[in-house]
Copies of this chain bind each other. A is one copy, B any other.
Protein backbone atom coordinates (compact mmCIF):
# COMPACT_ATOMS: atom_id res chain seq x y z
CA UNK A 1 0.00 0.00 0.00
CA UNK A 2 1.77 3.09 -1.19
CA UNK A 3 -0.83 5.34 0.34
CA UNK A 4 1.85 7.80 1.34
CA UNK A 5 2.23 8.68 -2.30
CA UNK A 6 -1.37 9.78 -2.65
CA UNK A 7 -2.35 11.26 0.68
CA UNK A 8 -0.69 14.64 0.40
CA UNK A 9 -0.19 15.10 4.14
CA UNK A 10 -3.44 16.92 4.77
CA UNK A 11 -3.34 16.87 8.58
CA UNK A 12 -1.58 19.83 10.19
CA UNK A 13 0.43 21.05 7.23
CA UNK A 14 4.16 21.02 7.53
CA UNK A 15 6.25 24.05 6.92
CA UNK A 16 6.78 22.79 3.40
CA UNK A 17 3.55 22.39 1.55
CA UNK A 18 4.81 19.62 -0.66
CA UNK A 19 2.72 20.38 -3.70
CA UNK A 20 2.21 24.09 -3.61
CA UNK A 21 2.49 24.74 -7.33
CA UNK A 22 -0.57 22.71 -8.32
CA UNK A 23 -2.40 23.88 -5.21
CA UNK A 24 -1.82 27.49 -6.21
CA UNK A 25 -3.00 26.84 -9.74
CA UNK A 26 -6.16 25.30 -8.42
CA UNK A 27 -6.79 28.15 -6.02
CA UNK A 28 -6.08 30.67 -8.77
CA UNK A 29 -8.62 28.99 -10.99
CA UNK A 30 -11.22 29.24 -8.25
CA UNK A 31 -10.52 32.90 -7.68
CA UNK A 32 -10.67 33.50 -11.41
CA UNK A 33 -14.04 31.80 -11.78
CA UNK A 34 -15.51 33.61 -8.82
CA UNK A 35 -14.18 37.10 -9.39
CA UNK A 36 -13.41 37.21 -13.07
CA UNK A 37 -10.14 38.23 -14.64
CA UNK A 38 -10.42 41.82 -13.44
CA UNK A 39 -11.04 40.78 -9.86
CA UNK A 40 -8.19 38.32 -9.74
CA UNK A 41 -5.67 38.77 -6.96
CA UNK A 42 -2.47 37.01 -6.03
CA UNK A 43 -3.02 37.58 -2.33
CA UNK A 44 -6.45 36.01 -2.42
CA UNK A 45 -5.01 33.04 -4.27
CA UNK A 46 -2.35 32.61 -1.61
CA UNK A 47 -4.99 32.96 1.09
CA UNK A 48 -7.04 30.15 -0.41
CA UNK A 49 -4.02 27.92 -0.69
CA UNK A 50 -3.38 28.63 3.01
CA UNK A 51 -0.02 30.14 2.34
CA UNK A 52 1.71 33.47 2.84
CA UNK A 53 1.31 36.17 0.19
CA UNK A 54 4.90 35.89 -0.86
CA UNK A 55 4.89 32.14 -1.39
CA UNK A 56 3.64 32.23 -5.00
CA UNK A 57 6.71 34.18 -6.03
CA UNK A 58 8.87 31.09 -5.53
CA UNK A 59 6.91 29.16 -8.12
CA UNK A 60 5.72 31.75 -10.58
CA UNK A 61 7.85 34.84 -10.16
CA UNK A 62 4.98 37.29 -10.17
CA UNK A 63 1.29 37.57 -10.92
CA UNK A 64 1.89 37.52 -14.64
CA UNK A 65 3.75 34.26 -14.30
CA UNK A 66 0.89 32.62 -12.46
CA UNK A 67 -1.69 33.84 -14.93
CA UNK A 68 0.49 32.69 -17.79
CA UNK A 69 0.73 29.21 -16.32
CA UNK A 70 -3.03 29.19 -15.89
CA UNK A 71 -3.60 30.31 -19.47
CA UNK A 72 -1.21 27.66 -20.74
CA UNK A 73 -3.19 24.99 -18.90
CA UNK A 74 -6.38 26.40 -20.37
CA UNK A 75 -5.02 26.25 -23.91
CA UNK A 76 -3.91 22.69 -23.28
CA UNK A 77 -7.39 21.75 -22.13
CA UNK A 78 -8.92 23.41 -25.17
CA UNK A 79 -6.49 21.58 -27.44
CA UNK A 80 -7.44 18.28 -25.84
CA UNK A 81 -11.11 18.94 -26.34
CA UNK A 82 -10.59 19.90 -29.95
CA UNK A 83 -8.46 16.85 -30.64
CA UNK A 84 -11.02 14.60 -29.00
CA UNK A 85 -13.78 16.10 -31.16
CA UNK A 86 -12.05 15.44 -34.44
CA UNK A 87 -13.22 11.85 -34.64
CA UNK A 88 -16.17 12.17 -37.01
CA UNK A 89 -16.07 10.38 -40.32
CA UNK A 90 -16.61 13.30 -42.67
CA UNK A 91 -14.73 16.56 -42.72
CA UNK A 92 -17.93 18.54 -42.19
CA UNK A 93 -18.77 16.45 -39.17
CA UNK A 94 -15.35 17.02 -37.64
CA UNK A 95 -15.45 20.76 -38.19
CA UNK A 96 -18.91 20.97 -36.74
CA UNK A 97 -18.00 18.90 -33.71
CA UNK A 98 -14.97 21.05 -33.08
CA UNK A 99 -17.04 24.21 -33.29
CA UNK A 100 -19.38 22.84 -30.68
CA UNK A 101 -16.44 21.80 -28.52
CA UNK A 102 -14.87 25.25 -28.82
CA UNK A 103 -18.01 27.08 -27.76
CA UNK A 104 -18.71 24.48 -25.10
CA UNK A 105 -15.29 25.07 -23.60
CA UNK A 106 -15.79 28.84 -23.60
CA UNK A 107 -19.13 28.55 -21.82
CA UNK A 108 -17.96 25.95 -19.32
CA UNK A 109 -14.72 27.78 -18.42
CA UNK A 110 -15.77 31.36 -18.80
CA UNK A 111 -13.13 33.15 -16.81
CA UNK A 112 -10.35 30.94 -18.09
CA UNK A 113 -11.46 31.45 -21.66
CA UNK A 114 -11.56 35.18 -21.01
CA UNK A 115 -8.05 35.11 -19.57
CA UNK A 116 -6.66 33.26 -22.58
CA UNK A 117 -7.25 36.33 -24.73
CA UNK A 118 -6.07 39.02 -22.36
CA UNK A 119 -2.77 39.50 -24.07
CA UNK A 120 -1.77 42.36 -21.78
CA UNK A 121 -1.77 40.10 -18.73
CA UNK A 122 0.19 37.19 -20.17
CA UNK A 123 3.79 36.53 -21.03
CA UNK A 124 3.67 35.44 -24.63
CA UNK A 125 7.36 34.65 -24.65
CA UNK A 126 6.56 31.75 -22.31
CA UNK A 127 7.32 28.49 -24.08
CA UNK A 128 4.60 26.48 -22.40
CA UNK A 129 1.95 29.06 -23.24
CA UNK A 130 2.87 29.42 -26.87
CA UNK A 131 3.20 25.67 -27.34
CA UNK A 132 -0.25 25.04 -25.88
CA UNK A 133 -1.81 27.81 -27.96
CA UNK A 134 -0.21 26.44 -31.11
CA UNK A 135 -1.41 22.98 -30.31
CA UNK A 136 -4.99 24.20 -30.03
CA UNK A 137 -4.85 26.03 -33.31
CA UNK A 138 -3.15 23.07 -34.92
CA UNK A 139 -6.03 20.80 -33.93
CA UNK A 140 -8.43 23.14 -35.61
CA UNK A 141 -6.23 23.52 -38.65
CA UNK A 142 -6.02 19.76 -39.03
CA UNK A 143 -9.76 19.34 -39.00
CA UNK A 144 -10.07 22.00 -41.69
CA UNK A 145 -7.06 21.29 -43.90
CA UNK A 146 -6.10 17.74 -43.05
CA UNK A 147 -2.69 16.84 -44.41
CA UNK A 148 -1.78 20.41 -45.27
CA UNK A 149 -2.28 21.62 -41.72
CA UNK A 150 0.59 23.66 -40.40
CA UNK A 151 1.80 24.71 -43.84
CA UNK A 152 1.54 28.15 -45.38
CA UNK A 153 0.70 29.70 -42.03
CA UNK A 154 0.95 33.24 -43.37
CA UNK A 155 -0.34 32.73 -46.88
CA UNK A 156 -3.76 32.21 -48.41
CA UNK A 157 -3.79 28.51 -47.53
CA UNK A 158 -4.54 29.31 -43.93
CA UNK A 159 -7.66 31.27 -44.68
CA UNK A 160 -10.27 28.52 -44.36
CA UNK A 161 -8.95 27.71 -40.90
CA UNK A 162 -8.99 31.35 -39.88
CA UNK A 163 -12.57 31.63 -41.10
CA UNK A 164 -13.54 28.63 -39.04
CA UNK A 165 -11.72 29.89 -35.99
CA UNK A 166 -13.22 33.36 -36.37
CA UNK A 167 -16.82 32.22 -36.49
CA UNK A 168 -16.66 30.00 -33.42
CA UNK A 169 -14.49 32.49 -31.55
CA UNK A 170 -16.87 35.34 -32.32
CA UNK A 171 -19.92 33.30 -31.42
CA UNK A 172 -18.35 32.27 -28.14
CA UNK A 173 -17.45 35.85 -27.27
CA UNK A 174 -20.90 37.14 -28.09
CA UNK A 175 -22.48 34.43 -25.99
CA UNK A 176 -20.20 35.19 -23.05
CA UNK A 177 -20.79 38.92 -23.36
CA UNK A 178 -24.47 38.37 -22.85
CA UNK A 179 -25.50 39.19 -26.41
CA UNK A 180 -28.01 36.36 -26.28
CA UNK A 181 -29.39 37.16 -22.85
CA UNK A 182 -27.93 37.91 -19.47
CA UNK A 183 -29.80 35.38 -17.35
CA UNK A 184 -27.88 32.31 -16.20
CA UNK A 185 -28.29 29.63 -18.82
CA UNK A 186 -29.32 32.01 -21.59
CA UNK A 187 -26.00 31.79 -23.34
CA UNK A 188 -25.97 28.00 -23.12
CA UNK A 189 -29.50 27.73 -24.46
CA UNK A 190 -28.83 30.18 -27.25
CA UNK A 191 -25.66 28.37 -28.18
CA UNK A 192 -27.48 25.07 -28.30
CA UNK A 193 -30.25 26.52 -30.41
CA UNK A 194 -28.16 28.60 -32.76
CA UNK A 195 -24.70 27.18 -33.09
CA UNK A 196 -25.63 24.45 -35.54
CA UNK A 197 -27.40 26.94 -37.75
CA UNK A 198 -24.57 29.42 -37.52
CA UNK A 199 -21.99 26.83 -38.51
CA UNK A 200 -24.17 25.81 -41.43
CA UNK A 201 -23.42 29.20 -42.95
CA UNK A 202 -19.71 28.49 -42.99
CA UNK A 203 -18.49 26.91 -46.21
CA UNK A 204 -14.87 26.01 -45.95
Which residue numbers of A lie inside 8 Å of B, CB to CB?
A: 36, 38, 117, 119-121, 124, 156, 158-160, 162-174, 177-178, 182, 194, 197-199, 201-204
Q: Does B120 lie within 8 Å of A198, measured CB to CB?
A: no
What's the Cα separation between A138 and B159 when bound, in Å? 28
Nearest-Cβ distance from residue A64 to partner chain B, whole angstroms: 12
Considering the complex, give the chain B residue whose CB is closest to the CB of A117.
Answer: B177
A169-B174 contact given A124-B182, A182-B124, A202-B202, CB 8 Å threshold: yes
Considering the complex, give the chain B residue whose CB is closest to the CB of A121.
Answer: B38
- Contact pick for A120, options B38, B117, B124, B165, CB 8 Å: B38
Q: Does A173 lie within 8 Å of B173, measured CB to CB?
A: yes
Determine how many copies of this chain the complex contains. 2
By a CB distance below 8 angstroms, the chain B residues around A167 are: 163, 166-167, 170, 202
Question: Chain A: interface secondary structure?
Answer: helix
What's the Cα separation between A17 and B40 when bound, in Å? 38
A202-B163 contact given A170-B171, A177-B117, A197-B156, CB 8 Å threshold: yes
By a CB distance below 8 angstroms, the chain B residues around A156 are: 197
What's the Cα separation between A171 and B164 when bound, in Å? 10
By a CB distance below 8 angstroms, the chain B residues around A194 are: 158-159, 162
Q: Does A166 lie within 8 Å of B174, measured CB to CB?
A: yes
Considering the complex, give the chain B residue whose CB is closest to the CB of A35.
Answer: B120
Q: Does A119 lie within 8 Å of B168, measured CB to CB?
A: no
Q: Does B198 lie within 8 Å of A163, measured CB to CB?
A: yes
A201-B198 contact given A165-B174, A173-B169, CB 8 Å threshold: no
